[in-house]
Structure 1
């Protein structure tokens, strides 16, 4: 069908931070592709985007499947005529003692949290080059700050941070900007399945601004990094954490 609107792909967009990012980018005037492994949540985000007056569509996709990602993004680019931004938000998380982590858990966290960033980049890069587009990854304070039970999660997010810097250098010369956001404690539905009220109270107490984050806080930061206002921002990890990293 083609579109004159800039096109943004947001992974893990079915709920929480990903949903907020999708809705904000649509409100900014982009056509948003809400990607999620769960077709129902992806469709709900699309419906919310449309209800807000924005332009969007849903795509059910397992971002850890390289062949599926390559095929899906090529099909999107052919139909929409362009891809301007990719937001790598999808993550699969399990906390636990390092000695108890089994191979399946480690592999799935690496597949969704790290390898998927590589696959979406490989698939979208030819189209991003033509659009002088951008990539925004989602890291975590856990990449540089010890968190109980989060050894594998920390390793994955540390790799995402390192990959962001490397990508910004390699792809910047091709006209593609790469940055990341670093969320603080944001009690989304998915996160609350892993962290209880006491855990969030501890995180709030260690946040200098004295409150927990909201998905909309992250959405605003991504909106900036995707916008023309950030045209000279490349290789930056933008902490949106209320000061948690410096506390």
Structure 2
């Protein structure tokens, strides 16, 4: 394996080989958040993640947390919520607000937010160009949950989600998985392991396998 070295990006739209990432998945720092660079990153299994007071940091972790849409787990209690009509879902009706809510929500073991003002603006621009999508959850005409990410046409790269009402973000994620399954998407990229995602059926796979699916060499997205 190639020795890991963290690259400093320039104005050139390029990234180093993924196997140069360190053990935590950090691949490179620097560059910018223009739409062309962001799309190039996602198309190659890379995503930005950094704090407001640091350089832009680009990651490609190994293993990768993913959800194969057909593997979504829906608990009995969640099925009851879905049948109740408590929530309704929309798509792309208030993308910027979803991003703002994701930035505002407090998370355990995390100070502040990684969704900086520049980061939010970058994804709003990606949305304007048709690549970034949002799913919104409403309760009594109030926005109570949602998620957003980058849609590559066969893979949905999830970025963040929020919930202001119990089960709202889970509802959005399940609806996303159900829709993508119907559209024969290979997987949802969840990036990094969390217990919450694992409880919904997401799993870790080797980065090499993820890239194979991302590049379309495995159209089914199945690793079993």
Is TM > 0.5 for Structure 1 vs Structure 2?
A: no
Give the TM-score normalised by structure 2: 0.33
Q: Higher strand proportion, which one?
A: 2
Q: Higher helix proportion, which one?
A: 1
- With a CA cutoff of 8 Å and minimum separation of 6, indicate the structure with the bigger relative contact order: 2
Give the TM-score normalised by structure 1: 0.31
